[in-house]
A and B are shown apart, each in its own frame.
Chain A
């Protein structure tokens, strides 16, 4: 592997070289929160951060997205499809958990007979530059879901933060081509690579939350109607913060916006949440999930039971955003503990 190195202060050079070809997205500070936004000015880039509030799925699957626009011309209706799906996108500084979430999103939008072109085209044209986590949070648990604070597989180029410099490794073909263009990058020394490995080891050891999710899936599959769900959903207020900040949540609502005065309109999609009592309300008036307990249970089952059944992998990347966002502290780790207790009560030993 030809690892390269570049100094953090040269980030402006990187931006300058890439901006003409790519839409450059990087972490930036907006009203005190870190967010991934399109950057044109190097001063806006924020390199000292833990993770963004809203996950980078927002770049490829935004909160509000136009599906198509239409307008009337006389008696004709002209439909205008999206023209910007072929634009090249570069997302800088994605943590490994969020990078892995892009794979889960791809699985979702590409499955079945109808592929979601809007997301998939953007994903195809997107280059992910990942960044390893030197200090995972208390609420992080990527190692329990098959991830790692320095996991490189889902990125195109992987960076390790060595202090004043980044160690740069090309992971995919897209990444290799990108690095070839950046010919000014210096070669990395052996010491740099060793330091990166050391940081990866330290980061892995600092993660305190560990769960055996294979066991969790098994217990969930067998206990859909267990009374523990009453206890789990008691304090939930249905605020949907967890679903809005989750990197793998994909539910959306489709709306039509009409601008009658100007003879035009558009179809848009916005994020929706399974935690809303209206989510499953049918036109007939029947609601399969009228009670909060059913909605709370649905979210957990979706991530840890339905995803393994349908996609052969867990639907959670261990980023911990839902844990820090929940206003009533009804956090995932407590929920998993309660679920695993069912097994314990049945006499089997569990490790949690």
Chain B
């Protein structure tokens, strides 16, 4: 089944479910994606009536993690008469995971949202395609068969989707939002129960086998163009702190400049804060205006918590995230010991 048909099916089912929810007044508003004004982009849209349901789309350009619109620090969906509105969120697997994880951190209430699950088939790695097209304007993007077709004024190029999708999508095992047994009404549309996720993390094995010097060189080279705009932080649903550690000035922990040590430390500490919380949606890399690829780092974070604590974020709102929990039997092979 080609991408075109897949996307069409997902769109049709999604619109039907959305229509039903609005009609039965199960939700007040629905957040989803709509067609962008430029090729390679989609827009988030908030609809509140059945007539607008046909604006909702699904294509492989839906990058933004919609869970961001529900975190604290972002205005809540509040109506002066109704109070907190009930929100339906069009959810790929990672968006559903983000919502459930935020619920486990007590940042959103699951009974105020509805997860409209869709069976995500991946998003395009827009930066990689733009880089390969180079300095020519992209005027049209479409999918056909298993290829992404990119057209410009005097060029047309085909990219195999399996190769040119976002790296995190390639290894994604949770394509539909997880079902939450405690809240059977939470998920509508296509959702799935995940009991035993097997992941060998072979995609980062090659990088992990490098020497520290090589790792340092590769990572600093990737981060060298960072302009400290913090788009990665703002796009991430898990970054909702009122005062981010880089902005702290009592005391000033780390520099805010674009010097390499400061940039390196910002990404290192942000990764540390994401341990056990990152849902591998890839939004951080896809919104970066300079095209920095943080996918390997996110995969490593998933690997650490899976192998050490058998934890996958965003599956169960009642399970404590690993960084706020501890067990007597935790592995401590890294501790210094007498010979």
Within 8 A of B (CB), among A83-129: none
Complex: chain A residue closest to B255, CB-CB:
A257
List the A residue with the shortest CB-CB distance to B128.
A32
| A238: nearest chain-B partner, CB-CB | B234
Q: Kindly state whether residue B227 has any CB partner on chain A within 8 Å.
A: yes
- Contacts A138-B137, A237-B68, A237-B234; is A327 near B229 (CB within 8 Å)? no
Known: A63-B258, A139-B38, A237-B235. A270 touches B228 (CB 8 A): yes
**Interface residue A282 (Cβ < 8 Å from any Cβ of B):** no
Contacts of B111-144 to chain A: CB distance below 8 A: 127, 130-131, 135-137, 139
Instruction: Give, as a whole number of angstroms, the nearest-CB distance from B239 to chain A.
Output: 11
Q: A50–B41 contact, CB under 8 A?
A: no
- Interface positions of A from 140 to 198, Cβ below 8 Å from B: none
Q: Which residues of A contact B36 (CB under 8 A)?
A: 329
- Known contacts A237-B234, A241-B231, A292-B75, A135 near B42 by CB under 8 Å: no
Whether A251 is near chain B, meaning CB under 8 Å from some CB there, is no
Cβ contact within 8 Å between A240 and B231? yes
Stretch at the interface among B43-51, B177-185, B187-195, B316-324: B43-51
Instruction: Give the interface residue-count category, chain B.
Output: 35 or more
**Residues of chain B contacted by A137 (CB below 8 angstroms):** 137
B-side interface mostly: loop
* Interface flag for B327 (CB, 8 Å): no
Contact B137 A32 (CB under 8 A): no
Contact residues of A between 45 and 91, Cβ < 8 Å to B: 46, 48-50, 53-54, 63-64
Cβ–Cβ contact A64 & B38, under 8 A: no
Q: Which chain B residue shows the least CB distance to A240?
A: B229
**Given A31-B224, A34-B135, A329-B43: A240 touches B64 (CB 8 Å cut-off):** no
List A residues 26-51 near B (Cβ within 8 Å): 30-35, 46, 48-50
Name the CB-closest residue of B to A51: B135
Confirm or deny: A215 has a beta carbon within 8 angstroms of a beta carbon on chain B: no
Residue among A34, A237, A270 facing the most chain B CB atoms (10 A cut-off):
A237
Asked if B9 is at the interface (CB within 8 A of a chain A CB), the reply is no
B37 touches A135 (CB 8 A): no
For B131, what are the chain A residues with a Cβ–Cβ distance below 8 Å? 32
Q: Would you call A327 and B225 a contact (CB within 8 A)? A: no
Does residue A277 face the partner (Cβ distance < 8 Å to B)? yes
A204 within 8 A of B: no
Q: Which residues on the A side are within 8 Å of B224 (C-beta)?
A: 31
| Count, A-B residue pairs, CB within 8 A | 121
> A270 to chain B: which residues have CB within 8 Å?
228, 256-258
User: Nearest Cβ in chain B — how far from A182, in angstroms?
Assistant: 27
B198 within 8 A of A: no
Q: What A residues does B41 contact at CB under 8 A? A: 326-327, 329
B-contacting 9-mer, from A3-11, A330-338, A339-347: A330-338
Whether, in the assembled complex, B287 has its beta carbon less than 8 Å from a beta carbon of chain A, the answer is: yes
A235 within 8 Å of B by Cβ? Answer: yes
B291 near A32: Cβ-Cβ < 8 Å: yes
Write out the residue numbers on chain A whose beta carbons fall within 8 Å of the beta carbon of B247. 278
Complex CA gap A245/B288 in Å reads: 12
User: Known contacts A270-B256, A292-B75; is A240 also within 8 Å of B234 by CB?
Assistant: yes
Which single member of B43, B230, B291 contacts A33 (CB below 8 Å)? B291
23 interchain pairs, CB-CB under 8 A: A31-B222, A31-B225, A32-B130, A33-B290, A34-B135, A50-B136, A64-B257, A235-B43, A235-B44, A235-B45, A237-B74, A239-B231, A240-B230, A257-B255, A273-B229, A292-B74, A327-B63, A328-B44, A329-B36, A329-B38, A330-B43, A333-B37, A334-B37
Besides A63-B227, A329-B43, 19 more A-B contacts (Cβ < 8 Å) are: A31-B221, A31-B291, A46-B135, A53-B289, A54-B227, A54-B290, A138-B137, A138-B139, A235-B45, A235-B69, A237-B68, A237-B69, A241-B229, A255-B255, A255-B257, A268-B257, A327-B41, A329-B37, A334-B37
User: Residues on A close to B: CB < 8 A?
Assistant: 30-35, 46, 48-50, 53-54, 63-64, 135, 137-139, 234-235, 237-241, 243-245, 253, 255, 257, 268, 270-271, 273, 276-278, 291-293, 323-331, 333-334
